[in-house]
Structure 1
Amino acid sequence: MNSTATYMPDPETAGLTIADVHAAHQRIAGAVVRTPTLRSKTLSEITGANVYLKFENLQFTAAYKERGALNFLLQMPEELRAKGVITASAGNHAQALAYHGTRLGIPVTIVMPQPTPTVKVQQTEANGGTVILHGEKFDDAYAHARELEQERDLVFVHPFDHPWIAAGQGTVALEMLEDHPEIDHLVIPIGGGGLFSGMATAARAVKDTIRLTGVEAELYPSMYAKVNGFEMPCEGDTLAEGIAVKEPGKFTANIVKKYADSLVLVNEGSLEKAVSLLLQIEKSVVEGAGAAGLAAMLAHPEKFAGHNVGVVLCGGNIDTRLLANVLLRDLARSGRLARLRINLQDRPGALFKVMRMFHEHNVNIIEIYHQRVFTNLPAKGLITDIECEARDAEQLTRLINDLRGQQYQVARVELA
């Protein structure tokens, strides 16, 4: 039997109390950032609730995961620290464990799936972790990590399904309610359930009337299905990959069942909108999972209207190209950016006449694509796609109506 079994609590039977969270808060104080909780005037106006944002994306590794990882490491006996720890993760848990493990002189091994983006591997290695790439999926990496745990006599640090991890994450709620005791509703992203478990335990002990809402991505409703006894598929490319968990924790599921007033699902459009709003309004870069709380408020405003809602921006690690795509797609959905497909006759001056109408409406042309061959139009016809930018949807609509009034066939190329 692995030596860690002599001191590691059983995640399936262990409990979690407010005393555990308070102890974690004292334990990690000074080694993690006490991030601010600030009221957002503009988001409050948009949602119809008083919105208080907890900026956990300001941690050194840009995510709340540092809290649980550090709380775990600090409770390990010295002889086990010397042997080292291991985990499976392709995200924020990997960076948090690598950073604090290295800082404490504890060897850290991270098993990641082979398709993990190079930037995440590099960030984890830069924080001092030893990365092993194995398998195509997280489940493959997880199984390999558990094998290495036994072979090398290491301590496995679970990303979420452990009371020490959850206790560390619960310190987020303590700080939020200390800074703004008027908060009466917390909306918390759920992947494996560690953050919700810790925050719910702390919040209910501090304020027993507080409402607790958990949020999952619509493509990965694993906790929603488990709590409600459903069978639901968990697959697809979600913007909120940080909470894209196929199998939630056993320990955490029990706490979610106990404390959650409701669990809601959010689609990709809501997640994209939330990421975009947080950057535009709060000037804060937040990843998809970190924006899930705000996405829930946008998708289900009736659940939060009139409440003092605490929202955890739990992470800010998002690929820059992906962020650029999200922002551009949001501009398209709002009507400020569009691609118009226009049928033209293939004759001199045809395109010039159309461009002149864009100029008259003060709509900026970004790109023009001509297609003469691969079209079902007659040989003398062509399709022109024009990407353009307007002040707002109304300005664009006026242009389209004017083009159609001049007998042009115009269609918007819609987003999926």
Structure 2
Amino acid sequence: MLEQYVKRILNAKVYEAAVETPIERANSLSARYANNILIKREDLQPVFSFKIRGAYNNLAHLTEEQKAKGVICASAGNHAQGLAESARRLGVKATIVMPRTTPDIKVNSVRARGGKVVLHGDAFDEAAAYSRELMEKHGYTYIHPYDDPMTIAGQGTIALEILNHVREPLHAVFVPVGGGGIIAGMAAYIKYVRPEIKVIGVEYEESACLALALKDGKRSVLDQVGLFADGVAVAQIGENTWEICKDYVDEVITVSADETCAAIKDIFDDTRSVAEPAGALAFAGIKKYIEREGCTDQTLVGVCSGANMNFDRLRYVAERTEVGEKREAVLAVTIPERPGAFKKFCATIGKRQITEFNYRLADANDANIFVGLQIPAGDGRQKLIEKLQETGYQVADLTDNEVAKSHCRHMVGGRSTAENERLFRFEFPERPGALLNFLTQLGKRWNISMFHYRNHGAAYGKVLVGIQVPDAEVAECRETLDNIGYAYWDESDNPVYRLFLK
């Protein structure tokens, strides 16, 4: 099987559209982690993503009859742009079905490259199903974003370039994983030519479909997919890609949103370029691998797979970077409600920089403060907490608490006396009418006692809602929320809620 893919890779037709991207040394990251860390700059492709390689290779191998009928795909971003650009260069009509939640910047980019955009559904699955209907109706050829041998071979040319240019001993190559097209193509080539090199996949923890498949020994489907790293938001590894990955990928590392944000900053510091979340995954994985293995003086290559970042998302990324780099602790601390208490607290924490301080009078005796503090990397957070506790403060560590980081730190108004209140965290699709749809389906049965929404530049917005629901009606309320169809979590037992909002 590998030999077949290597032949396809060697004969791939990508360079009529794609460019051979440079491999640059990440000087700051290399110095900090005592290894030679290299960046494969796929963000420098004409469509700012590696996806043009597979899309063009697939189109270039179609028959003239297939080209004449046109092509179609479903995509929310990079594959759509790669296919539109490839079709433009080859004079092929391309139809791209995109969810209605797709940001305008990506829709406009596809149209600017000559692609016909059809907006359908709120999620990728609905768009994909509709694209298949159009394919059957009009006789289009479907160009899969990852699960096609020609697409896989096109992406595999990245590995060919790496091995041609990195002459020193290469310890490992780190590759972002969504449906598996790029890692399958690269693994096939690397393991055939240089089997001693490790091929390590990196997945966002809320869309880790390859990690799940390797654990189960089959192509399992994730119950839910997180959308922060939208370029890899896939629920199931591809069928063709799985046949390669299960035997030739050495391991998969999963990383959090905060760790990904920190990696985006690392790439920016070394290149002055802003990677999209999926594009930075490999470098979040490299850092975790080095910390786990304790390796030094090794050459490690990461693929920066794309830079199609929505500008609105930069605020969110910047906020989460310090936490992801383990240089900020987010804490709830109970201090006495009396003059001089804040000064004493500041004296206790010493010269640490306060990054955030939120407080509102709650009762006459104690004050719960929400505070962010800069800390040294490593075990600085735990030492800080221990010092505060030794001084007599009650401390709750909120650094990994999603409600605290996404909502509570931005909310004002203090505690509520609302009876029978339950707290729910939602992901609303970013489209007109999403809130009205929610309120209409929720009906007038239960009162909304709190609401916080924040746009962070993704297809889905983060929403925190308080709903007054008597205990006897909780099951019925959850059934109603299930029927609305928006992803949600019950956060009624979250410590942040008890400390600051309830």
Please report the TM-score for the alignment, with normalisation by the length of structure 2.
0.68
Give the whole-Å Cα distance in 2 for the aligned partners of 1:414 and 1:270.
12
Question: How many pairs align?
Answer: 392
Greater than 3 Å deviation, 4+ residue runs:
13-16, 45-49, 230-234, 332-347, 361-370, 380-388, 390-394, 407-415
**1:190 positional shift:** 1.6
In structure 2, the partner of 1:154 is 140
Confirm or deny that 1:245 pairs with 2:234.
Answer: yes
CA distance in 2, matches of 1:224, 1:201: 18
After superposition, the Cα gap between the structure-2 partners of 1:362 and 1:67, relative to the gap in structure 1 and judged at 3 Å, is same
Which of 173, 177, 188 is the equivalent residue of 1:190?
A: 177
Using CA pairs below 8 Å that are at least 6 residues apart, which structure has the higher relative contact order?
1
* Cα offset, 1:172, TM superposition: 0.5
Unaligned runs of 5+ in 1: 1-12
CA contact (8 A) 1:187 1:212 kept: yes
What CA distance in whole angstroms lies between the structure 2 residues aligned with 1:222 and 1:176?
26
2:197 to 210, 224, 232: 210
- Which of 267, 271, 293 aligns to 1:278? It is 267
C-alpha separation between the residues in 2 aligned to 1:46 and 1:112?
Answer: 41
Other-structure match for 1:19: 7
Structure 2 residue 292 is matched with structure 1 residue 305: no
C-alpha contact 1:113 1:137 (8 A) present in aligned 2 = yes
Residue type matched to 2:189 in 1? A
Query: Quick check: 1:291 aligned with 2:277?
Result: no
Matches of 1:106 and 1:237 in 2, distance apart? 34
TM-score by length of 1: 0.80
Say which SS state the counterpart of residue 371 (structure 1) adopts.
coil
Q: Write out aligned runs for 1:117-156 (5 A).
A: 117-156=103-142
2:333–2:393: 8 Å Cα contact kept in structure 1? no
Deviations along 1:191-241, whole A, 9 cap, x unmatched?
A: 111111211222233323222222222222222332442657342434322
1:263 to 219, 229, 252: 252
Whole-angstrom distance in 2 between the partners of 1:70 and 1:273: 32
- Aligned mate of 1:54, from 40, 44, 56: 40
User: Closer, same or farther in 2 for the Cα pair 1:367/1:208, shift >3 Å?
Assistant: closer
150-159 or 226-235, larger mean C-alpha shift: 226-235
Change in CA separation of 1:245 and 1:177 when aligned onto 2, cut-off 3 Å: same
Deviates more, 1:27-36 or 1:296-305: 296-305
Q: Please report the RMSD computed on the Cα atoms of aligned residues, expressed in angstroms.
A: 3.6
C-alpha distance in 2, partners of 1:381/1:210?
58
Shift in alpha-carbon separation, 1:335–1:152, aligned structure 2, 3 A: same
More displaced 10-residue stretch of structure 1: 102-111 or 36-45: 36-45
State the distance in 1 between where 2:366 and 2:205 align.
43
Offset, 1:249 = 1.2
Structure 1 residue 275: Cα displacement: 1.8
Gaps of 5+ in 2: 402-502
Output one character per residue of 1:21-75: Cα deviation in whole Å (capped at 9) or x when no partner. Answer: 1111xx3225212111122233223334321210101112111001011111112
Larger mean CA deviation between 139-148 and 314-323 belongs to 314-323
> CA 1:391–1:204 in 2, change beyond 3 Å: closer, same or farther?
closer
Q: Compared with structure 1, are the counterparts of its residues 252 and 368 closer, same or farther at alpha carbon in structure 2 (3 Å cutoff)? A: closer
Aligned 8 A contact 2:56 2:83 in 1: yes
C-alpha separation in 2, matches of 1:34 and 1:242: 22
Counterpart-to-counterpart distance in 1, 2:2 and 2:162: 26
